[in-house]
Structure 1
Amino acid sequence: MEYVTSEVRYIEESMYVPDPVIAMAIKPKNSKDMDAFSKAVNRFTREDPTYRIQWDTDNKETIASGMGELHLEIYAQRMQREYGCEVVMGKPKVAFRETLVAPLEFDYMHKKQSGGSGQYGHVSGILEPLPLEENTQVVFSDETMGTNVPKQFIPAIEKGFKEMCNKGMLTGHKIAGVHFRVQDGSNHMVDSNEISFILAAHGAMKQAYERGAWMVLEPIMSVEITAPEEFQGTVTSHMNKRHGIITGTDANQGWFSLYCEVPLNDMFGYSNELRSSTQGKGEFSMEYSCYLPARSEVMEDLTVQYEALTQPSEAPKKKSSRR
């Protein structure tokens, strides 16, 4: 930006702030320290534009980003020393998704009578997976004919379906890539109401988990790595260990670029690994590419972890397809 006065011309350049290279989950060790944590975050992010804090709405956790693990560790120590707020840091959660493997029919009736007006809602139809290119979406469609399911209750069914998509019953992650097609049902003149059909949709989704085959999707990242050619073998080996798929390579004046697709769950800690194995000369960037089925061992680990958090009586009967 340029300023001109009658005597002097001033030219100001904007400050360059590099993008963070590492991110870690962070939270106060004790919930009572949340106020001190907020004060520390507000101060440190104003002082240092390379230190960033954001709330991950998908995984419900706070993410700290910076220029390296030491950078983040120093601020964690300052929070404890200057604000008396001890924090816990760790690997950020990955936004896995649950999806259906094959179409299935559902037919669920919600009926409750406890004196006076009761509840009655009945829905039937088909739940089917969406194509691969649409596997991050959830779709609802009304295919009912006649008055078996009054039209004023269709929004309630859609609401119940989308509420269930917020938390799957296989690993606890969101449901994606499914199409909920309501085709028929029934109602009661007195007992049918909005809540009845919301609960009927809930029951239909639970029924789908009991009868259907489900799998886990994981985010795949497009990664570009640049380093001196002497380290190409080492870098390629590291990507193979992280289950990356090499999509291309390029070389120019003693440097090479490696292009690959890697599961986000396997990229944690790669920044330090790349720098230590390339004498600090290697760089990489990554961006979201798509969701693909997770490996069987990843799915198994997520399922076991989720079942350990739920009560045995709440664990749903389910079938899973591991690919």
Structure 2
Amino acid sequence: MTTTNTSGSAPSGAGKRPRQLRNIGVIAHIDAGKTTLTERILYYAGKIHRMGEVHDGTATMDYLPEEQERGITITSACTTCTWAGTQINIIDTPGHVDFTIEVERSLRVLDGAIGVFCAVSGVEPQSETVWRQSERYKVPKLALVNKMDRPGADFKAVLNSMRERLDARPLAIQIPLGAGPDFSGVADLVTLERVTFEDDVVQRDPLTAQEAELAAPWREAMLEALAEHDDALMEAYLGGEAIDPQAVRRVIRAVTLSRALTPVLAGSALRNMGVQPVLDAVCAYLPGPADITPAKGQDPSGGKTVELPPDPKAPLAALVFKVIMEGGRKLVLARVYSGTLREGEDVLNVVQGKKERLGRMFRLHADQKEPLAAAGPGEIVALSGMKLPRTGDTLADPAHPVLLESISAYRPVISLALEPRNTEELDKLNEAVARVLLEDPTLSSAYDEDSGQLILS
């Protein structure tokens, strides 16, 4: 029996310089449990000391008053935690179709994602949308079949739904033990152990005879699928040899990075079941900045393609993926692809062709900020004191300008005429619209000279 205590305390390696980095997003249909999962991740990683609930309006990542009132995620929120020596930057994305652009620009800067599916509803319409968005950006993914404690939960049906509606190749690496009110834990198909969760303690025990019989065909299916992608595992599998769990994990990581298969786990985030194995899987299977194909940019002077290695000593290249207005002040969110961002240094806004000095730099935790002096490849940071950047702009070393691919925006499908009640309110209206346009790249405005109205699309 193996027992791990995770009662809100930071795991081994917390507080030290992380050996590895993961940039992940949590994507799903609305109400699949994304924010609840993120809340539990932060708690078990020691980032927060009390779990908030979405339905109570106390979730850490839903910090806007509108989100707390409605119980939904409206804007993508960033945070950072550490698990087993790995720094994990998390972006919790909205699930509602109206906020798809938030998912789009988040996926543009992520290296991996967790797709969350309701065990009752399976693949839902917005699940398809965000999954295909992640495929467009070639993002490796894990999947979590959440809400296994709900009546009507069906793990196998969700896997079939993933195959049919997402054209995905799900690879179950866990199966639930029981479903609905009888859900009691999961069977780990890699180690053939029963994993249970109680009072923040993860307990691993050998499978009972009945559980081993249940897990046997699932493990065979997992090994067979993995063997197709690895000759050494194929030889051991066909030879009937005992297969070491580390060998299995190695191949799972390889097929995850290549996007050949999608590892699937089971749990119930609301009941605090299955969250720690998700964190373990993020560290074990999803890529870090050095594991993915290096980003490419263009030399603005000649149009030549430039490869951007994730090297802190290389020339700087960073992409602005979001702009937030905080009380009239601009907060710029950027992902560093190459080189190092340093507070107080001059950077070139390649899109606008202008230099600007970096103000203060922070690592975000929802609406809180942790000051940073420098940020290297893979880091997602917030920059204050800058006036020029807009969503999609590239920040680069003035001596080595390079242009990263911008973030595609959706074309408006509806327009609205705005008109102030009097001339005194005209300036206020223009200022308010200008702030909204900075934050949302899908919006555009035009002035209709005939009607004197401002048209917002």
- Higher helix residue share: 1
Looking at CA atoms only, which structure, 1 or 2, has the larger radius of gyration?
Answer: 1
Relative contact order higher in (CA < 8 Å, ≥ 6 apart): 1
Please give the TM-score of this superposition, normalised by the length of structure 2.
0.17
**TM-score scaled by structure 1?**
0.21
Higher strand share: 1
